Structure 1
Amino acid sequence: MRRNRLAVFLLFGLLFATGGRADQDAVEIVTPQDETIYDDAFASLVVKTPPGKIKRLEIETGEGKLYIYKSSPKTGYYCKSVKLKLGDNNITVTAYTDDNKTIMKSVELFYRSEVYEGADEAPYKFRKHFFHNDKNEKLCSKCHNMKPDFQKAPKRTIKAKGALTADVQVLENPQDSHCYACHEPLTSRKNGHAPSVNFMCTICHNGKAGANNLLDEGQSKYLQPDPIAPRCFKCHERVEEIMKHNRSDHGPTKLGRCNKCHNPHSSPNEFFLRKPIWKLCTTCHAEKASGKHVINAFVFSRNKGGHPTRGRPDPSRPGRELVCSSCHNPHGSKGPFLLRTTGSTPFKVCKRCHKK
């Protein structure tokens, strides 16, 4: 009798355990994979659930934001672009079933940026994982057209300005792009990069690798080469031509790593920089972060030890504040020290503001 009771108890426990496992397996975070590195602030999340069986779904992001869905899609798939904070992020999905069960799943992601201390290098366990492979696209193609449509879609022409050398053709209605539904948040910040905000995605994401990411070759049809400069120069030929004649070069631009300083999608900062200009420059040039710079024997005594680098109006650009790029060209210069001058005499740049 005691043996029979033990057998029943073990059988019940086994059924309970496997039933719980089955419930857990009913909800799956299809993408992103756990321990994935991101180089921008948004991740596309796809959650698979039993069709029509979920009465409520909650997604809590690394920024602490909570998204709530009170209905279950017929397909059973929930898709959401979630915002990440710099560094480590834990994305938690909680599903409440019709039979009052709760199922939780989570993934850990790392938003990396070279210009932010603590987020400049991901922990060893994290890796780059690419979404656009045949398996994922086959899954998504049930609801989404996964083919980029830039070549066939109606276009209009925007006139070249700034660093652009030639007029550029862009989509007449960027929101009609097949990429828009999932990747629109990438363009949501104040200052946008023309290819990104016009969803000319394949201009940069050409599926090819560069010297710095050869190991990623073939992992995604929308890979972009690193260094990225050759792709940038397709539009910015004027900058390329200027750089050919530099006497002094800036490290990131010399190495073709335009995206170290610029976010190629969008940014809250001017020129879609990853930080405001002064903060960006002093990330690498910390010795200049005192706000005083240059030789102190030739500046007014009120500066008490050096020429200011911020907190003053810029005489050479009325209406703007003095910053590092007031005197230095971050793309390089024909003069010394990246100064906005030509020839070997650095003091010529002073005349931009000090006429006498």
Structure 2
Amino acid sequence: MRLSHLYLRAVIFLFISSANLVSEDKFIEVLTPQENRLQTELTLNVVVKADKKSVDAIKIASPLGVIDINLDNSREMQCKNISLRLGENRVVIRSYKNKILVDEKTRDVYVASQLYHQFKYPPQKYSKSYFHNDTNEKSCASCHNMSVNEVKGVAFVDVTKSNCYSCHKNITKEKYAHAPAANWLCTSCHDKKNQSKYLTQEPVNGSCFECHEENQELWSAAKYHHEPLDSGDCSRCHNPHASPYAMFIRKEVNEICLGCHKEQNSRAREKERSGCMGVDESQKCTSCHTPHASNQPFFLKKMVNKVIK
């Protein structure tokens, strides 16, 4: 009798467990980010579809901490913008009911950077994925106006009125904001379409030189061109949206330069041999070198008397 009772309990347990496995996907569905996503921005939009009857709280864990999604029961979709670090990021979206974990979804996201060798070549499993297509946008249309409401060349008086603002506002939160981004003239640069709407031109310098035409003429006439300029990769060193550093550079000047020119760090410190006065807290590489183009070897702003070895 006791054995049959235990057997019945085991059957009931297995039935409940299998029922939970079948219904698990109904708790939460992650629209973005897609698994193994590759990107270059340090911000990420997380968009989830939650079963409001089964979920009353959602938390997003990343290497930079845990953030709550403030659930809006009037919406089918819930979204949150989070910050990431360079390299691999494991993003875990956990849903709860009455403070009990009911579901967990994991997404791996890689933030690449051409400035640093260790982040330049992501593992093969990562690939670019895009959100803005007709299918994905339909899922957001109940809460967001997915059309472009900007007038070419006309800045918004109130940038919050841009249809792009609510989802992408964090890209301009830094001290220095690039004019097109600060005025939310997104399609000034995001005007291409291939796998997604609102892509940028590649290489990106074609878009940059539409406004910075004088710089293009000046640098093109110079004898020596720095590789990032010649490859058209302005966004390698400059963030096209915003940065805590002047001229929208991605890091402090010396940190950018030595990200690629690591060998110069120790070599330049041997000042008697190299004649270099830079690579310390008081002096920047750009004190002597121009980062774009020059008529002098080594992109010097002017020749020096001492021979550079």
**Contact persistence 2:63–2:85 (CA under 8 A):** yes
1:287-302 pair list within 5 angstroms: 287-290=263-266, 292=268
Q: Could you say what secondary structure the match of 2:217 adopts?
A: helix
The C-alpha deviation readout for 1:296-340, integer Å capped at 9, x for no partner, is 9xxxxxx5442311447xxxxxxxx53222222212123333222
- Rounded Cα–Cα distance in structure 2 between residues aligned with 1:11 and 1:52: 24
The Cα of 1:10 is off from its aligned counterpart by 5.7
1:141-180 pair list within 5 angstroms: 141-151=141-151, 169-180=154-165
TM-score scaled to structure 1, two decimals?
0.77
Counterpart for residue 120 of structure 1: 120
The C-alpha deviation readout for 1:260-294, integer Å capped at 9, x for no partner, is 1111111222211122111211222223213737x
**Contact persistence 2:116–2:260 (CA under 8 A):** no
**Contact persistence 2:58–2:93 (CA under 8 A):** yes
Relative distance call for 1:327 and 1:99 in structure 2 (3 A) is closer
Q: Could you say what secondary structure the match of 2:113 adopts?
A: coil
The Cα of 1:136 is off from its aligned counterpart by 0.8
Relative distance call for 1:6 and 1:328 in structure 2 (3 A) is same
The Cα of 1:52 is off from its aligned counterpart by 4.7
- Rounded Cα–Cα distance in structure 2 between residues aligned with 1:72 and 1:54: 12
- Structure 2 residue 286 is matched with structure 1 residue 329: no
More helix by share: 2
1:1-356 pair list within 5 angstroms: 13-14=14-15, 16-63=17-64, 65-69=65-69, 71-97=71-97, 100=100, 102-151=102-151, 169-208=154-193, 218-290=194-266, 292=268, 304-305=272-273, 306-311=275-280, 322-341=283-302, 346-347=303-304
- Rounded Cα–Cα distance in structure 2 between residues aligned with 1:135 and 1:104: 24
- Rounded Cα–Cα distance in structure 2 between residues aligned with 1:330 and 1:275: 14
**Contact persistence 1:42–1:186 (CA under 8 A):** yes
Q: Could you say what secondary structure the match of 1:231 adopts?
A: helix
- Rounded Cα–Cα distance in structure 2 between residues aligned with 1:246 and 1:70: 54
Letter of the structure 1 residue corresponding to residue 89 of structure 2:
N
Letter of the structure 2 residue corresponding to residue 178 of structure 1:
N
**Contact persistence 1:52–1:76 (CA under 8 A):** no
The C-alpha deviation readout for 1:103-136, integer Å capped at 9, x for no partner, is 1112111111111242222111111000101111
Structure 1 vs Structure 2 CA RMSD: 2.9
TM-score scaled to structure 2, two decimals?
0.88
Give the unaligned 5+ runs of structure 2: none
- Rounded Cα–Cα distance in structure 2 between residues aligned with 1:232 and 1:255: 13
**Contact persistence 2:225–2:294 (CA under 8 A):** yes
The C-alpha deviation readout for 1:242-265, integer Å capped at 9, x for no partner, is 122111111010111111111111
Q: Could you say what secondary structure the match of 2:169 adopts?
A: helix
**Contact persistence 1:291–1:308 (CA under 8 A):** no
Letter of the structure 1 residue corresponding to residue 296 of structure 2:
G
Letter of the structure 2 residue corresponding to residue 43 of structure 1:
L
The Cα of 1:93 is off from its aligned counterpart by 1.4
Counterpart for residue 211 of structure 1: none
The C-alpha deviation readout for 1:172-204, integer Å capped at 9, x for no partner, is 222211111011111112222111122111111
Letter of the structure 2 residue corresponding to residue 308 of structure 1:
M
The C-alpha deviation readout for 1:50-89, integer Å capped at 9, x for no partner, is 13542222111231x2222465522232100011111111
User: Alignment identity in percent?
Assistant: 31
Which structure has more relative contact order (CA 8 Å, sep 6+)? It is 2
Letter of the structure 2 residue corresponding to residue 137 of structure 1:
E
